[in-house]
Every structure is written in structure tokens, then in C-alpha cells.
Amino acid sequence: MIEHVRFMASKAISKDAWLEARRLGVTATQVARAASGPGGFEQAVQDYRTEFVEQDNPYMAFGRVWEAPISMFVKEHTGVMPNEWLISSAVSDHYLATPDGLSLNHEVISEIKTTGKDWDPLKLPIQYRRQVQWQLHVTGAKMCVFAWMLRGERAGLFVPEWFEPRIHEIERDEEMIASLVKVADDLWEEVWDD
């Protein structure tokens, strides 16, 4: 079980506080970006040096609109509850993650995405697999329920292409986690050396 002191900030309570708390460590998004190569690492470093401004576009708006219904689908089918809490790791307080869902026993997380093209469950995009593995590491969970909804376009508006999202279970990958820990430590050292 995750101790209550590791629940740092909730974006449902205060998005500003949640954004500020994210700057106190390395999140799943940041470590996935930094692990993509030298350019991604440098971009992750720059993200700490600038004020966070959430970009908005119709793709992101569609994802925001559909995250809650997909979260409820995941809850109904797996028992994993929606989550908006930023959680710190028991190993290091600068390892952070906000999984989209968390089971009551904290052994399963969920991650929710919307996409313009369907994915082979065994070949999910690497940046998302990295995000999931980091979230598993931070929370100590054993598995992730990865859910995604295909996005289509009708009369200039984005709409879901399916009646319900697809779900795939992702197990922990200790080898990938170890490589992400190294990237996160390198990133944090670079940020705090400045």
C-alpha cells in the first residue's frame, strides 16, 4: 500500500498546486521524453527551466473529454479507480507519477490514451510503455491496465470510432525500469546542477 504522505497533490483539488508539485521531481512524461535520446533529454531539461504552459489543441481536447468516460469503463471492468493524485516513490521523493487510475490495494494502475490510429497491444508506442513502466516503478504496482480509444472525424469534429475502449494489461519490465531510473537520476542531476 502507498503511504498517505506519498500522495502529494491532486489536480482535481488544485491544478496549480499539482503543477508546482510536479516540478519537485521527475514524472513519467519527463522521463519518457528524456529517455528518447539526446534531443529529448535536452527538451526535458528545458521543461524545468521554463514556466509550464499547457498547450491546447483539438486532439488534446478530445482526450480530456473522453478521459473520464474511459476511466469509468476501466473501473467497471477492472476495479481500478480514477486517480488525479501525484504520487512520490518510496525509493526517492523526486520520482513522481500521476497514473490515470489506481486500484484500492494499489497493486494495479491504469493509463488512458486517445489516438488517431489503432495500436497492436504488443507494439504500443515506446513513449507510452516508458510512461507506464515509470508509473509502475513509482507506485510499486504490479500491473497497468492500458486503455485507449480510437478517434475519428465527422463533419469537422472528433468523435470516438468505437463503442468502448480497448484494454491491454502491461506487466512490470524491471530492465526498462532500471534504464529509466538511470535517465531520471541523470535528468535530476542536470536540473539541480544549474
**Phi, psi (degrees; rounded to nearest 5) at 193:** -75, -20
Long-range contacts of 44-49 (CB under 8 A, 24+ apart): 44/187, 45/187, 45/190, 45/191, 48/23, 48/191, 49/194
| Domains of the chain with CATH codes | 4-193 (3.90.320.10)
**Phi, psi (degrees; rounded to nearest 5) at 160:** -70, 140
> In the block, which residue shows the cell 480497448?
166
CA–CA dist 182, 106 (Å, integer): 25
pLDDT tens over the chain, length 194 residues = 999 999 999 999 999 999 999 999 999 999 999 999 999 999 999 988 887 666 778 888 999 999 999 999 999 999 999 999 999 999 999 999 999 999 999 999 999 999 999 999 999 999 999 999 999 999 999 999 999 999 999 998 999 999 999 999 999 999 999 999 999 999 999 988 65
pTM of the model: 0.94
* Angle, CA of 163, 149 and 65, to the nearest 5°: 95
Which three cell numbers, joined as nine digits, stand for 42?
A: 535536452
Per-residue pLDDT tens over the stretch 36-47? 999 999 999 998
| Pairing mode, strands 108-115 and 143-154 | parallel
Q: What is the pLDDT of residue 115?
A: 95
Q: What is the pLDDT of residue 92?
A: 93
